A and B are shown apart, each in its own frame.
Chain A
Amino acid sequence: MVPLARKTLVHEWRRFLPSALAVAFSGLLLLVQAALVFGIFNSSAVYIRKSGGELWLGYPGTQSIELGRPIPQQAEIAALMDPAVERVEPFNWIDGDWRGPADKGGVSVFVSGIDTRSDALMFADALTPALRALLDEPDGVIVDRADLPKLGLDVGGQAVVNGHRVRIVGVGSGLRALGGVNIVTSLATSRRLDNGDSDGRVAYYVVKLRDGSDAAAVRQRLQPRGQARRFEVWTRDAFARRAVAYWMFETGAGLGVVLLAIVVFVVGALITSQTLMGAVAGSIREYATLHALGVGFARLRRVVLEQAAWVGAFGLVVGGVATALVVLLAHRRDVPVQLDLVTVAICATLVMGIALLSGLAAVRALRHADPALLLR
Protein backbone atom coordinates (compact mmCIF):
# COMPACT_ATOMS: atom_id res chain seq x y z
CA MET A 1 0.00 0.00 0.00
CA VAL A 2 1.39 3.38 -0.96
CA PRO A 3 1.67 5.41 2.28
CA LEU A 4 -0.16 8.41 0.88
CA ALA A 5 -0.69 10.14 4.24
CA ARG A 6 2.96 9.99 5.28
CA LYS A 7 4.40 10.78 1.85
CA THR A 8 2.17 13.83 1.62
CA LEU A 9 3.15 14.94 5.12
CA VAL A 10 6.84 14.72 4.31
CA HIS A 11 6.53 16.29 0.88
CA GLU A 12 4.22 19.12 1.94
CA TRP A 13 5.64 19.60 5.44
CA ARG A 14 5.37 23.36 5.14
CA ARG A 15 1.64 22.99 4.80
CA PHE A 16 1.40 20.83 7.91
CA LEU A 17 3.97 22.62 10.03
CA PRO A 18 1.55 25.22 11.46
CA SER A 19 -0.78 22.51 12.71
CA ALA A 20 2.09 20.49 14.18
CA LEU A 21 3.38 23.60 15.94
CA ALA A 22 -0.12 24.43 17.16
CA VAL A 23 -0.34 20.96 18.64
CA ALA A 24 3.15 21.27 20.10
CA PHE A 25 2.34 24.60 21.72
CA SER A 26 -0.94 23.27 23.05
CA GLY A 27 0.97 20.38 24.55
CA LEU A 28 3.60 22.68 26.01
CA LEU A 29 0.97 24.97 27.51
CA LEU A 30 -1.04 22.11 28.97
CA LEU A 31 2.02 20.36 30.41
CA VAL A 32 3.75 23.43 31.80
CA GLN A 33 0.53 24.67 33.28
CA ALA A 34 -0.08 21.30 34.89
CA ALA A 35 3.51 21.18 36.14
CA LEU A 36 3.24 24.64 37.66
CA VAL A 37 -0.17 24.06 39.16
CA PHE A 38 0.79 20.76 40.72
CA GLY A 39 4.12 22.18 41.76
CA ILE A 40 2.60 25.19 43.44
CA PHE A 41 -0.39 23.41 44.92
CA ASN A 42 1.66 20.52 46.14
CA SER A 43 4.00 22.96 47.79
CA SER A 44 1.07 23.68 50.09
CA ALA A 45 1.49 20.11 51.24
CA VAL A 46 5.23 20.06 51.10
CA TYR A 47 5.64 20.47 54.86
CA ILE A 48 3.45 17.48 55.44
CA ARG A 49 5.02 15.30 52.80
CA LYS A 50 8.59 16.10 53.77
CA SER A 51 8.02 15.14 57.36
CA GLY A 52 7.93 11.83 59.13
CA GLY A 53 5.08 10.58 61.30
CA GLU A 54 1.82 8.95 60.31
CA LEU A 55 -0.81 11.14 61.99
CA TRP A 56 -1.39 14.83 62.36
CA LEU A 57 -3.39 16.45 65.14
CA GLY A 58 -4.60 19.97 64.48
CA TYR A 59 -7.39 22.48 64.90
CA PRO A 60 -10.78 21.03 63.86
CA GLY A 61 -11.54 21.60 60.20
CA THR A 62 -8.13 22.99 59.31
CA GLN A 63 -8.01 22.94 55.52
CA SER A 64 -4.40 23.71 54.86
CA ILE A 65 -1.31 23.78 57.01
CA GLU A 66 -0.94 27.56 57.01
CA LEU A 67 -4.43 27.90 58.47
CA GLY A 68 -3.40 26.17 61.71
CA ARG A 69 -4.64 27.43 65.11
CA PRO A 70 -3.36 26.51 68.56
CA ILE A 71 -4.87 23.34 70.00
CA PRO A 72 -5.02 22.23 73.62
CA GLN A 73 -2.25 20.14 75.09
CA GLN A 74 -4.73 17.40 75.89
CA ALA A 75 -4.40 16.38 72.28
CA GLU A 76 -0.81 15.45 72.99
CA ILE A 77 -1.79 13.60 76.14
CA ALA A 78 -4.56 11.71 74.35
CA ALA A 79 -2.13 10.62 71.68
CA LEU A 80 0.54 9.55 74.14
CA MET A 81 -1.95 7.33 75.95
CA ASP A 82 -2.62 5.25 72.86
CA PRO A 83 -0.56 2.04 72.90
CA ALA A 84 0.26 2.25 69.18
CA VAL A 85 1.82 5.70 69.50
CA GLU A 86 5.60 5.77 69.74
CA ARG A 87 6.21 9.48 69.82
CA VAL A 88 4.35 12.77 69.70
CA GLU A 89 6.16 15.82 68.42
CA PRO A 90 4.82 19.36 68.71
CA PHE A 91 4.93 21.52 65.61
CA ASN A 92 4.24 25.20 66.03
CA TRP A 93 2.89 27.41 63.30
CA ILE A 94 2.47 31.14 63.77
CA ASP A 95 2.14 34.20 61.60
CA GLY A 96 4.91 36.73 61.71
CA ASP A 97 5.81 40.15 60.46
CA TRP A 98 9.38 40.23 59.22
CA ARG A 99 11.28 43.49 59.29
CA GLY A 100 14.61 43.21 57.59
CA PRO A 101 16.64 45.83 55.73
CA ALA A 102 14.79 49.14 55.41
CA ASP A 103 14.51 48.93 51.62
CA LYS A 104 12.54 45.66 51.75
CA GLY A 105 9.81 46.92 54.08
CA GLY A 106 7.75 44.36 55.99
CA VAL A 107 7.28 40.81 54.78
CA SER A 108 4.58 38.46 56.01
CA VAL A 109 6.14 35.22 57.11
CA PHE A 110 5.00 31.91 58.52
CA VAL A 111 7.09 30.68 61.39
CA SER A 112 7.49 26.94 61.81
CA GLY A 113 8.68 25.96 65.25
CA ILE A 114 10.15 22.45 65.15
CA ASP A 115 11.86 19.93 67.35
CA THR A 116 15.60 20.24 66.75
CA ARG A 117 16.61 16.71 67.70
CA SER A 118 18.41 14.92 64.92
CA ASP A 119 15.68 12.27 64.63
CA ALA A 120 12.81 14.74 64.77
CA LEU A 121 9.83 14.14 62.49
CA MET A 122 9.16 17.61 61.10
CA PHE A 123 11.13 18.29 57.93
CA ALA A 124 12.84 14.93 58.29
CA ASP A 125 13.39 14.96 54.53
CA ALA A 126 14.08 18.66 54.10
CA LEU A 127 16.57 19.52 56.82
CA THR A 128 19.79 17.67 57.64
CA PRO A 129 20.52 16.98 61.31
CA ALA A 130 23.40 19.46 61.12
CA LEU A 131 21.17 22.20 59.79
CA ARG A 132 18.58 21.35 62.39
CA ALA A 133 21.16 21.62 65.16
CA LEU A 134 21.90 25.20 64.09
CA LEU A 135 18.42 26.11 65.28
CA ASP A 136 19.45 25.41 68.85
CA GLU A 137 21.02 28.84 68.77
CA PRO A 138 18.46 31.10 70.43
CA ASP A 139 16.60 33.23 67.88
CA GLY A 140 18.23 31.37 65.01
CA VAL A 141 16.13 30.83 61.89
CA ILE A 142 16.52 28.89 58.66
CA VAL A 143 14.97 30.16 55.42
CA ASP A 144 14.69 28.77 51.94
CA ARG A 145 17.60 29.74 49.72
CA ALA A 146 15.19 31.06 47.11
CA ASP A 147 13.63 33.45 49.63
CA LEU A 148 16.89 35.20 50.53
CA PRO A 149 16.55 37.92 47.87
CA LYS A 150 13.01 38.63 49.00
CA LEU A 151 14.23 39.11 52.54
CA GLY A 152 17.21 41.13 51.41
CA LEU A 153 19.55 39.22 53.70
CA ASP A 154 22.17 36.52 53.60
CA VAL A 155 23.19 33.88 56.12
CA GLY A 156 24.19 35.69 59.30
CA GLY A 157 21.86 38.56 58.56
CA GLN A 158 19.56 39.84 61.29
CA ALA A 159 15.95 40.89 61.20
CA VAL A 160 13.04 41.47 63.54
CA VAL A 161 10.01 39.16 63.68
CA ASN A 162 7.03 40.25 65.77
CA GLY A 163 9.31 42.57 67.66
CA HIS A 164 11.97 39.97 68.40
CA ARG A 165 15.40 39.95 66.86
CA VAL A 166 16.25 36.81 64.84
CA ARG A 167 19.34 35.74 62.94
CA ILE A 168 19.53 33.63 59.78
CA VAL A 169 21.71 30.68 60.76
CA GLY A 170 21.30 28.61 57.64
CA VAL A 171 19.45 28.06 54.38
CA GLY A 172 17.52 25.03 53.20
CA SER A 173 15.66 24.17 50.06
CA GLY A 174 12.19 22.82 49.45
CA LEU A 175 10.84 24.97 52.27
CA ARG A 176 8.96 27.30 49.97
CA ALA A 177 5.22 27.23 50.21
CA LEU A 178 2.23 29.20 49.08
CA GLY A 179 1.20 32.43 50.62
CA GLY A 180 4.39 33.83 51.99
CA VAL A 181 7.91 33.24 53.16
CA ASN A 182 8.41 30.32 55.50
CA ILE A 183 11.01 30.46 58.18
CA VAL A 184 11.96 27.59 60.43
CA THR A 185 12.94 27.98 64.07
CA SER A 186 13.19 25.85 67.14
CA LEU A 187 10.05 25.37 69.19
CA ALA A 188 11.50 27.59 71.90
CA THR A 189 12.24 30.43 69.51
CA SER A 190 8.79 30.15 67.95
CA ARG A 191 7.20 30.49 71.39
CA ARG A 192 9.17 33.64 72.03
CA LEU A 193 8.15 35.06 68.66
CA ASP A 194 4.53 34.33 69.50
CA ASN A 195 4.56 36.88 72.35
CA GLY A 196 2.71 34.41 74.52
CA ASP A 197 -0.51 34.72 72.49
CA SER A 198 -1.00 30.98 72.43
CA ASP A 199 -0.28 30.27 76.09
CA GLY A 200 2.37 27.82 75.10
CA ARG A 201 -0.02 25.82 72.94
CA VAL A 202 1.11 24.71 69.50
CA ALA A 203 -0.84 24.34 66.26
CA TYR A 204 -0.04 20.71 65.48
CA TYR A 205 1.19 17.48 66.94
CA VAL A 206 2.84 15.02 64.63
CA VAL A 207 2.50 11.43 65.75
CA LYS A 208 4.84 8.58 65.00
CA LEU A 209 3.31 5.12 65.41
CA ARG A 210 4.99 1.91 66.36
CA ASP A 211 5.97 -0.27 63.42
CA GLY A 212 3.12 -2.31 62.08
CA SER A 213 0.38 -0.08 63.46
CA ASP A 214 -2.69 0.64 61.38
CA ALA A 215 -2.71 4.42 61.00
CA ALA A 216 -6.38 4.53 60.03
CA ALA A 217 -7.40 2.53 63.08
CA VAL A 218 -5.35 4.70 65.45
CA ARG A 219 -6.83 7.78 63.84
CA GLN A 220 -10.28 6.41 64.55
CA ARG A 221 -9.37 5.89 68.22
CA LEU A 222 -7.82 9.33 68.67
CA GLN A 223 -10.45 11.27 66.81
CA PRO A 224 -12.54 13.12 69.41
CA ARG A 225 -16.29 12.59 69.15
CA GLY A 226 -19.24 14.81 69.81
CA GLN A 227 -19.92 18.50 69.37
CA ALA A 228 -17.14 19.93 71.42
CA ARG A 229 -14.22 18.65 69.42
CA ARG A 230 -11.16 20.67 70.22
CA PHE A 231 -8.82 19.01 67.79
CA GLU A 232 -9.00 16.73 64.81
CA VAL A 233 -6.83 13.84 63.64
CA TRP A 234 -5.79 13.13 60.05
CA THR A 235 -3.50 10.60 58.50
CA ARG A 236 -0.50 12.27 56.91
CA ASP A 237 -1.70 11.60 53.35
CA ALA A 238 -5.21 12.78 54.07
CA PHE A 239 -3.92 16.02 55.54
CA ALA A 240 -1.63 16.58 52.55
CA ARG A 241 -4.50 15.93 50.15
CA ARG A 242 -6.67 18.32 52.13
CA ALA A 243 -4.12 21.05 51.66
CA VAL A 244 -3.84 20.46 47.92
CA ALA A 245 -7.59 20.22 47.52
CA TYR A 246 -8.04 23.45 49.44
CA TRP A 247 -5.78 25.37 47.11
CA MET A 248 -7.06 23.63 44.05
CA PHE A 249 -10.79 23.89 44.66
CA GLU A 250 -11.52 26.37 47.42
CA THR A 251 -9.39 29.23 46.17
CA GLY A 252 -10.79 29.28 42.63
CA ALA A 253 -7.33 28.66 41.27
CA GLY A 254 -8.25 25.16 40.18
CA LEU A 255 -11.23 26.39 38.18
CA GLY A 256 -8.96 28.92 36.50
CA VAL A 257 -6.64 26.12 35.54
CA VAL A 258 -9.44 24.03 34.10
CA LEU A 259 -10.76 27.02 32.15
CA LEU A 260 -7.30 27.77 30.79
CA ALA A 261 -6.89 24.13 29.78
CA ILE A 262 -10.20 24.32 27.91
CA VAL A 263 -9.09 27.49 26.14
CA VAL A 264 -5.79 25.87 25.17
CA PHE A 265 -7.65 22.82 23.90
CA VAL A 266 -10.15 24.80 21.85
CA VAL A 267 -7.61 27.20 20.37
CA GLY A 268 -5.24 24.35 19.56
CA ALA A 269 -8.02 22.37 17.93
CA LEU A 270 -9.22 25.39 15.94
CA ILE A 271 -5.80 26.19 14.51
CA THR A 272 -5.01 22.56 13.82
CA SER A 273 -8.33 21.80 12.17
CA GLN A 274 -8.10 24.88 9.97
CA THR A 275 -4.65 23.88 8.77
CA LEU A 276 -5.67 20.29 8.16
CA MET A 277 -8.78 21.45 6.32
CA GLY A 278 -6.54 23.61 4.16
CA ALA A 279 -4.39 20.59 3.41
CA VAL A 280 -7.42 18.53 2.46
CA ALA A 281 -8.81 21.36 0.33
CA GLY A 282 -5.43 21.65 -1.40
CA SER A 283 -5.62 18.02 -2.50
CA ILE A 284 -9.36 17.91 -3.06
CA ARG A 285 -9.12 17.19 -6.79
CA GLU A 286 -6.77 14.29 -6.16
CA TYR A 287 -9.09 12.91 -3.50
CA ALA A 288 -12.01 13.36 -5.90
CA THR A 289 -10.10 11.41 -8.54
CA LEU A 290 -9.51 8.56 -6.10
CA HIS A 291 -13.18 8.68 -5.23
CA ALA A 292 -14.08 8.48 -8.92
CA LEU A 293 -11.79 5.47 -9.21
CA GLY A 294 -13.91 3.84 -6.53
CA VAL A 295 -11.97 4.57 -3.35
CA GLY A 296 -14.69 5.11 -0.76
CA PHE A 297 -14.98 8.06 1.60
CA ALA A 298 -14.19 5.81 4.55
CA ARG A 299 -10.76 5.08 3.12
CA LEU A 300 -10.10 8.70 2.19
CA ARG A 301 -11.13 9.65 5.72
CA ARG A 302 -8.51 7.28 7.04
CA VAL A 303 -5.83 9.13 5.08
CA VAL A 304 -6.82 12.44 6.66
CA LEU A 305 -7.06 10.94 10.14
CA GLU A 306 -3.69 9.31 9.74
CA GLN A 307 -2.22 12.67 8.83
CA ALA A 308 -3.87 14.18 11.89
CA ALA A 309 -2.41 11.42 14.05
CA TRP A 310 1.09 12.04 12.69
CA VAL A 311 0.68 15.76 13.23
CA GLY A 312 -0.39 14.98 16.79
CA ALA A 313 2.51 12.63 17.39
CA PHE A 314 5.00 15.12 16.03
CA GLY A 315 3.48 17.92 18.08
CA LEU A 316 3.53 15.70 21.14
CA VAL A 317 7.24 14.98 20.77
CA VAL A 318 8.15 18.62 20.17
CA GLY A 319 5.87 19.78 22.98
CA GLY A 320 7.27 17.10 25.27
CA VAL A 321 10.87 18.09 24.63
CA ALA A 322 10.04 21.77 25.10
CA THR A 323 8.24 20.96 28.35
CA ALA A 324 11.22 18.96 29.59
CA LEU A 325 13.45 21.96 28.95
CA VAL A 326 11.08 24.34 30.72
CA VAL A 327 10.75 22.02 33.71
CA LEU A 328 14.52 21.65 33.89
CA LEU A 329 14.93 25.40 33.84
CA ALA A 330 12.27 25.79 36.49
CA HIS A 331 14.03 23.27 38.74
CA ARG A 332 17.24 25.23 38.43
CA ARG A 333 15.44 28.38 39.46
CA ASP A 334 13.70 26.70 42.40
CA VAL A 335 10.31 27.29 40.79
CA PRO A 336 8.02 24.61 42.14
CA VAL A 337 7.07 22.34 39.25
CA GLN A 338 5.86 18.81 39.42
CA LEU A 339 4.80 16.34 36.75
CA ASP A 340 3.78 12.79 37.34
CA LEU A 341 3.08 10.07 34.82
CA VAL A 342 -0.68 10.34 35.18
CA THR A 343 -0.60 14.06 34.44
CA VAL A 344 1.67 13.55 31.45
CA ALA A 345 -0.60 10.78 30.17
CA ILE A 346 -3.68 12.99 30.55
CA CYS A 347 -2.00 15.90 28.77
CA ALA A 348 -0.75 13.60 26.00
CA THR A 349 -4.27 12.26 25.58
CA LEU A 350 -5.63 15.79 25.37
CA VAL A 351 -3.02 16.71 22.79
CA MET A 352 -3.77 13.67 20.65
CA GLY A 353 -7.42 14.55 21.19
CA ILE A 354 -6.75 17.99 19.73
CA ALA A 355 -5.10 16.44 16.69
CA LEU A 356 -7.73 13.76 16.11
CA LEU A 357 -10.67 16.10 16.68
CA SER A 358 -9.07 18.45 14.17
CA GLY A 359 -8.69 15.53 11.82
CA LEU A 360 -12.37 14.73 12.21
CA ALA A 361 -13.22 18.34 11.44
CA ALA A 362 -10.93 18.23 8.40
CA VAL A 363 -12.60 15.04 7.22
CA ARG A 364 -15.71 17.10 6.62
CA ALA A 365 -13.80 18.98 3.95
CA LEU A 366 -13.65 15.67 2.06
CA ARG A 367 -17.35 16.01 1.32
CA HIS A 368 -16.24 18.34 -1.44
CA ALA A 369 -14.26 15.54 -3.04
CA ASP A 370 -17.08 15.04 -5.54
CA PRO A 371 -15.80 13.62 -8.82
CA ALA A 372 -18.40 15.76 -10.59
CA LEU A 373 -16.17 18.76 -9.86
CA LEU A 374 -13.52 17.20 -12.10
CA LEU A 375 -15.86 17.08 -15.09
CA ARG A 376 -16.19 20.06 -17.28
Chain B
Amino acid sequence: MDATLVADALSKSFTTGAVRTDVLRDLSIEIAAGELTLVSGPSGCGKSTLLAILSGLLRPDGGRAFALGQDLARLEPAELERFRLQHTGFVFQGFNLFPALSALEQVMLPLGYLGLGDALARRRAGDALAEVGLGSRMQLRPAELSGGEKQRVAIARALAKEPQLLFADEPTSALDAANGQIVIDTLHRIARTHGATVLCVSHDPRLVGHADRVLAMEDGRILADRRVAASRSP
Protein backbone atom coordinates (compact mmCIF):
# COMPACT_ATOMS: atom_id res chain seq x y z
CA MET B 1 0.00 0.00 0.00
CA ASP B 2 1.42 3.36 -1.06
CA ALA B 3 1.54 6.11 1.49
CA THR B 4 -0.19 9.30 0.40
CA LEU B 5 1.01 11.30 3.38
CA VAL B 6 4.58 10.99 4.58
CA ALA B 7 6.18 12.73 7.52
CA ASP B 8 9.94 12.43 7.47
CA ALA B 9 11.71 13.45 10.66
CA LEU B 10 9.45 16.43 11.23
CA SER B 11 10.25 18.87 13.96
CA LYS B 12 8.49 22.06 14.93
CA SER B 13 8.73 24.35 17.91
CA PHE B 14 6.90 27.46 18.98
CA THR B 15 8.35 30.31 20.98
CA THR B 16 6.14 32.17 23.40
CA GLY B 17 8.09 34.99 24.97
CA ALA B 18 11.26 33.41 26.29
CA VAL B 19 9.78 29.93 26.42
CA ARG B 20 10.47 27.57 23.56
CA THR B 21 8.22 24.58 23.23
CA ASP B 22 9.05 21.62 21.02
CA VAL B 23 5.76 20.51 19.56
CA LEU B 24 7.02 17.87 17.16
CA ARG B 25 10.24 15.95 17.77
CA ASP B 26 11.74 14.06 14.87
CA LEU B 27 8.42 12.56 13.92
CA SER B 28 8.14 10.16 10.99
CA ILE B 29 4.99 8.44 9.83
CA GLU B 30 3.34 7.16 6.67
CA ILE B 31 -0.38 7.34 6.11
CA ALA B 32 -2.23 5.39 3.47
CA ALA B 33 -5.24 6.04 1.29
CA GLY B 34 -8.57 4.28 1.66
CA GLU B 35 -8.63 4.29 5.41
CA LEU B 36 -9.41 6.52 8.33
CA THR B 37 -6.33 7.25 10.38
CA LEU B 38 -6.96 8.71 13.79
CA VAL B 39 -4.30 10.61 15.66
CA SER B 40 -5.23 10.69 19.33
CA GLY B 41 -3.58 12.17 22.32
CA PRO B 42 -3.94 14.77 25.03
CA SER B 43 -4.17 18.49 24.35
CA GLY B 44 -0.87 20.00 23.35
CA CYS B 45 0.68 16.72 22.23
CA GLY B 46 1.27 18.17 18.77
CA LYS B 47 -1.40 16.31 16.83
CA SER B 48 -2.98 19.41 15.31
CA THR B 49 0.45 20.70 14.35
CA LEU B 50 1.12 17.42 12.58
CA LEU B 51 -2.15 17.78 10.69
CA ALA B 52 -1.32 21.39 9.78
CA ILE B 53 2.08 20.43 8.39
CA LEU B 54 0.84 17.41 6.44
CA SER B 55 -1.97 19.48 4.94
CA GLY B 56 0.33 22.29 3.89
CA LEU B 57 -1.07 24.88 6.28
CA LEU B 58 2.15 25.11 8.23
CA ARG B 59 5.84 24.71 7.40
CA PRO B 60 7.98 22.48 9.63
CA ASP B 61 11.24 23.69 11.20
CA GLY B 62 12.97 20.52 10.20
CA GLY B 63 12.25 17.35 8.25
CA ARG B 64 10.06 17.01 5.21
CA ALA B 65 6.40 16.49 4.54
CA PHE B 66 5.13 14.77 1.40
CA ALA B 67 1.54 14.79 0.26
CA LEU B 68 0.60 12.74 -2.81
CA GLY B 69 4.31 12.41 -3.48
CA GLN B 70 4.78 16.17 -3.50
CA ASP B 71 7.40 17.71 -1.22
CA LEU B 72 5.31 20.47 0.34
CA ALA B 73 8.39 22.51 1.24
CA ARG B 74 9.17 22.95 -2.43
CA LEU B 75 5.86 24.63 -3.22
CA GLU B 76 5.53 28.41 -3.32
CA PRO B 77 2.66 29.79 -1.22
CA ALA B 78 0.50 30.21 -4.33
CA GLU B 79 1.29 26.66 -5.49
CA LEU B 80 0.47 25.41 -2.03
CA GLU B 81 -2.92 27.13 -2.19
CA ARG B 82 -3.49 25.56 -5.59
CA PHE B 83 -2.49 22.17 -4.19
CA ARG B 84 -4.89 22.52 -1.29
CA LEU B 85 -7.66 23.71 -3.59
CA GLN B 86 -7.29 20.70 -5.85
CA HIS B 87 -6.47 17.92 -3.46
CA THR B 88 -7.52 18.61 0.11
CA GLY B 89 -10.65 18.95 2.17
CA PHE B 90 -10.86 20.19 5.74
CA VAL B 91 -13.30 19.69 8.56
CA PHE B 92 -12.71 21.74 11.69
CA GLN B 93 -14.13 21.63 15.17
CA GLY B 94 -16.01 24.85 14.56
CA PHE B 95 -18.27 24.42 11.57
CA ASN B 96 -17.30 27.80 10.09
CA LEU B 97 -20.28 28.12 7.81
CA PHE B 98 -21.24 31.47 6.29
CA PRO B 99 -24.45 32.57 8.01
CA ALA B 100 -25.82 34.03 4.79
CA LEU B 101 -25.57 30.89 2.68
CA SER B 102 -27.85 27.87 2.46
CA ALA B 103 -26.34 24.42 2.97
CA LEU B 104 -26.25 23.95 -0.80
CA GLU B 105 -24.45 27.26 -1.34
CA GLN B 106 -21.91 26.50 1.41
CA VAL B 107 -20.95 23.36 -0.47
CA MET B 108 -21.05 25.00 -3.90
CA LEU B 109 -18.81 27.90 -2.84
CA PRO B 110 -15.39 26.15 -2.96
CA LEU B 111 -16.44 24.36 -6.15
CA GLY B 112 -16.90 27.76 -7.80
CA TYR B 113 -13.38 28.71 -6.78
CA LEU B 114 -12.24 25.40 -8.21
CA GLY B 115 -13.56 26.63 -11.54
CA LEU B 116 -16.66 24.43 -11.82
CA GLY B 117 -19.69 25.83 -13.63
CA ASP B 118 -22.85 26.48 -11.66
CA ALA B 119 -24.77 23.47 -12.94
CA LEU B 120 -21.99 21.00 -12.24
CA ALA B 121 -21.26 22.59 -8.85
CA ARG B 122 -24.94 22.37 -7.94
CA ARG B 123 -25.12 18.70 -8.88
CA ARG B 124 -21.94 17.78 -7.03
CA ALA B 125 -22.96 19.77 -3.98
CA GLY B 126 -26.36 18.09 -3.99
CA ASP B 127 -24.72 14.65 -4.22
CA ALA B 128 -22.34 15.46 -1.36
CA LEU B 129 -25.18 16.70 0.85
CA ALA B 130 -27.21 13.60 0.04
CA GLU B 131 -24.22 11.47 0.97
CA VAL B 132 -24.06 13.03 4.44
CA GLY B 133 -27.83 12.59 4.81
CA LEU B 134 -28.88 16.19 4.30
CA GLY B 135 -30.55 15.80 0.92
CA SER B 136 -33.78 17.22 2.23
CA ARG B 137 -32.28 20.15 4.12
CA MET B 138 -30.18 21.72 1.39
CA GLN B 139 -31.98 25.04 1.35
CA LEU B 140 -31.57 25.76 5.07
CA ARG B 141 -29.16 28.30 6.50
CA PRO B 142 -26.81 27.45 9.40
CA ALA B 143 -29.13 29.12 11.90
CA GLU B 144 -31.81 26.58 10.96
CA LEU B 145 -29.56 23.54 11.33
CA SER B 146 -28.51 21.59 14.41
CA GLY B 147 -24.84 21.28 15.40
CA GLY B 148 -24.59 17.79 13.93
CA GLU B 149 -26.19 18.93 10.70
CA LYS B 150 -23.83 21.88 10.46
CA GLN B 151 -20.84 19.59 10.82
CA ARG B 152 -22.25 17.36 8.12
CA VAL B 153 -22.59 20.40 5.85
CA ALA B 154 -18.92 21.15 6.59
CA ILE B 155 -18.05 17.57 5.68
CA ALA B 156 -20.09 17.84 2.47
CA ARG B 157 -18.23 21.09 1.70
CA ALA B 158 -14.92 19.23 2.02
CA LEU B 159 -16.22 16.14 0.25
CA ALA B 160 -17.77 17.84 -2.79
CA LYS B 161 -14.32 18.87 -3.99
CA GLU B 162 -13.63 15.13 -4.29
CA PRO B 163 -10.31 15.55 -2.50
CA GLN B 164 -7.76 12.80 -2.28
CA LEU B 165 -6.81 14.07 1.16
CA LEU B 166 -9.34 14.85 3.84
CA PHE B 167 -8.23 16.40 7.10
CA ALA B 168 -10.45 16.60 10.15
CA ASP B 169 -9.46 18.40 13.32
CA GLU B 170 -11.53 17.49 16.36
CA PRO B 171 -14.62 17.10 14.17
CA THR B 172 -16.76 15.70 16.95
CA SER B 173 -15.73 17.81 19.96
CA ALA B 174 -18.68 20.13 19.67
CA LEU B 175 -21.19 17.36 19.09
CA ASP B 176 -23.21 15.00 21.25
CA ALA B 177 -22.61 11.25 21.12
CA ALA B 178 -25.19 10.46 18.44
CA ASN B 179 -24.06 13.22 16.10
CA GLY B 180 -20.42 12.45 16.79
CA GLN B 181 -21.13 8.88 15.75
CA ILE B 182 -22.77 9.98 12.50
CA VAL B 183 -19.87 12.29 11.68
CA ILE B 184 -17.12 9.74 12.28
CA ASP B 185 -19.05 7.08 10.38
CA THR B 186 -19.38 9.48 7.48
CA LEU B 187 -15.65 10.19 7.49
CA HIS B 188 -14.95 6.49 7.64
CA ARG B 189 -17.26 5.77 4.73
CA ILE B 190 -15.60 8.52 2.67
CA ALA B 191 -12.24 6.83 3.17
CA ARG B 192 -13.61 3.51 2.06
CA THR B 193 -15.88 4.44 -0.82
CA HIS B 194 -13.86 7.32 -2.26
CA GLY B 195 -10.48 5.83 -1.59
CA ALA B 196 -9.51 9.06 0.10
CA THR B 197 -6.84 9.48 2.74
CA VAL B 198 -8.68 10.61 5.84
CA LEU B 199 -6.54 11.97 8.63
CA CYS B 200 -8.51 12.75 11.73
CA VAL B 201 -7.10 14.34 14.83
CA SER B 202 -9.01 13.99 18.06
CA HIS B 203 -8.74 13.46 21.78
CA ASP B 204 -12.24 11.99 21.77
CA PRO B 205 -11.86 8.34 22.95
CA ARG B 206 -15.24 7.45 21.43
CA LEU B 207 -13.70 7.66 17.96
CA VAL B 208 -11.04 5.02 18.51
CA GLY B 209 -13.37 2.18 17.70
CA HIS B 210 -14.33 3.74 14.37
CA ALA B 211 -10.87 4.23 12.93
CA ASP B 212 -8.89 1.82 10.79
CA ARG B 213 -5.66 2.88 12.36
CA VAL B 214 -4.93 4.77 15.55
CA LEU B 215 -1.76 6.73 16.21
CA ALA B 216 -1.28 7.62 19.85
CA MET B 217 0.71 10.79 20.28
CA GLU B 218 2.31 12.42 23.27
CA ASP B 219 4.93 15.12 23.66
CA GLY B 220 5.49 15.48 19.94
CA ARG B 221 6.16 11.83 19.32
CA ILE B 222 4.10 8.88 18.22
CA LEU B 223 3.97 6.38 21.05
CA ALA B 224 1.82 3.71 19.51
CA ASP B 225 0.61 2.78 16.05
CA ARG B 226 -2.07 0.14 15.92
CA ARG B 227 -4.67 -1.15 13.53
CA VAL B 228 -8.16 -1.48 14.84
CA ALA B 229 -9.31 -5.00 14.12
CA ALA B 230 -12.93 -4.20 14.78
CA SER B 231 -13.10 -1.55 12.10
CA ARG B 232 -16.27 -2.09 10.16
CA SER B 233 -16.68 -2.43 6.46
CA PRO B 234 -18.81 0.19 4.71
Contact = CB atoms under 8 A, between A and B. Distances in A.
B68 interface: no
A178 interface: no
Contacts of B93: 374, 376
B48 interface: yes
B100 A285 contact: no
A375 interface: yes
A290 B110 contact: yes
Interface string B32-61: 000000000001000011011001011000
Contact of A296 (B78, B94, B157): B78
Given A1-B118, A286-B97, A374-B94, A293 B110 contact: yes
Given A7-B105, A11-B100, A294-B81, A375 B94 contact: no
Interface string A33-52: 00000000000000000000
B209 interface: no
10 contacts: A4-B98, A285-B94, A290-B113, A292-B84, A292-B90, A292-B92, A293-B157, A374-B90, A375-B51, A376-B93
B92 A299 contact: no
Given A286-B97, A289-B92, A375-B51, A4 B82 contact: no
A10 B157 CA distance: 22
Contacts of A295: 81, 85, 110, 113
Interface residues of B, number: 41
A293 B101 contact: no
B148 interface: no
Contacts of A77: none
A144 B98 CA distance: 62
Classify chain A: how many residues form its interface, as a range: 20 to 34
Nearest to A370: B57
B161 interface: yes
Contacts of A235: none
A4 B101 contact: yes
B182 interface: no
Nearest to B202: A376
A371 B90 contact: yes
A128 interface: no
Contact of A2 (B48, B49, B108, B170): B108
A81 B227 CA distance: 115
A158 to B, nearest CB: 71
Contact of A294 (B98, B113, B118): B113
B2 to A, nearest CB: 23
- By Cβ-Cβ distance, the 6 closest A-B pairs, closest first, are A294-B85, A11-B100, A294-B84, A1-B112, A289-B96, A375-B48
B111 to A, nearest CB: 9
Contacts of A371: 52, 57, 90
